[in-house]
Amino acid sequence: MSRTGQLLKAARATANTVGQSLDNPSHAASLSYVDLVLNELILRDDPGFYLDHIARGELLLTEGHRMLSVGADPWIAPASLRPEMRADMSAEAINTALDQLNACLVDVVARLDEARSDAEKSYLERVCSWEKGFYDHHLEQAGDSRGEDLVFTEESLRAYLADKFPHWSGLRVSRVEPLAGGFSKKTVLFETYDEVNGHQSMVLRAEQESSVLRFSKVTQEFHIIQFMRKAGLPVAEPLWLEEHTEHFGVPLMVSRKAPGTNHGVTMGGMDSISEKLLQSMIATLCAMHNVKPDADDPLVQRSPLAEWLAYRDIRAATTHFVTSYLQNLIRETKIDMTPQLLRVLKWLEANVPNEAEESAIEQRAHRR
């Protein structure tokens, strides 16, 4: 790593240390943003990866041009993407080249059909592998960031709980620990003691402003967890929903801690799964997919299930998911189209199951 990269890493570590000692949530949140910026600068200080990534992407683009130039309706390749890339170029110039290359490859992928020939399928697989390499590099470099967990501390949680539950006399908060798992929420385990409730173990889930999952709003999640618990599924007991944002800046929900062990994170499993645990997971999934939502249930109406009650069979529900739901999600969250994402969307649309059977989660409203 260059001297600049070493200095940036030292600055990032210092910012994280300072953030851990802050009592003011807004200041801690600001340092979380600083952490992300410093990490991006560290990545930019290593142009070698990006230059190599661009060079390999351009080879794929050239190959794609050759494939599209064959046939009755040949495609004319765009003009040169960029000037000659150099290691001393600015990060802005490198990012511009990456954006242009991505847009050109998206155009190529849009015109290909992996069901048409093995050659096109092989090419699309290699384009997706190229894109995955970019994500792998960023995950490897950014994996040790803890900035986003700094918002929730013993002091800030105690201030929030004391304000919300003033009758909890003698309140203490301890063991504030971020939990690994999904990336759409900040999930934090914490313990409390007060003279009214005694010892309690709870889990907080808060929205993140960067979350791209529209269907994952914590306000909707709270109601669907309530619905699933009422249906007898083994989910943690939801305690309350906090929609006011004056304490932490985002909505959040709090559940009672459920017994169990975390066997994995967003990127995969950490431990081997026993046969007993696997059967338990399958049984729970089967039970969940046989719950019968009632369209008139207030919990259903306030949850993501409400959107799906109009689609009575697998074909209709899947068609809505592929052609409307995902497209709206991408548009609303302003996700940039990439070759890999476009390939997935095209495959899904081409493989909607021709099934007229009722959807997995049966809908009692249609059986009246």
pLDDT digits (tens, 9 = 90+) for 308-343: 888 888 899 899 989 888 888 888 777 888 999 999
Average pLDDT of the chain is 80
Question: What pLDDT is stored for residue 28 in this prediction?
Answer: 66
Compute how many other C-beta atoms are within 10 angstroms of the C-beta atom of residue 183.
17
What 8-state DSSP symbol labels residue 208?
-
Residues 234-237: contacts with CB under 8 Å, at least 24 apart = 234/258, 234/284, 236/203
Average pLDDT over residues 143-162: 72
Per-residue pLDDT for 35 more than 60?
A: yes
CATH 3.30.200.20 is right for the domain spanning 152-269:
yes
How does pLDDT run across 247-271, given as a tens digit for each residue?
Answer: 888 899 999 998 877 776 655 666 6
* Domain ranges in the chain with CATH number 3.30.200.20: 152-269
d(CA 145, CA 32): 9
Instruction: Please give the residue that has the higher pLDDT: either 27 or 325.
Output: 325
Amino acid letter for position 322: V
Closest CA to 140 of 229, 247, 208, 39: 39
How does pLDDT run across 128-151, given as a tens digit for each residue?
Answer: 999 999 888 766 544 444 444 446
What 8-state DSSP symbol labels residue 271?
S
pTM: 0.59
Phi first, then psi, for residue 205 (nearest 5°) are -125, 120
How does pLDDT run across 70-119, given as a tens digit for each residue?
Answer: 654 555 545 445 556 665 666 667 778 888 899 999 999 999 999 999 99
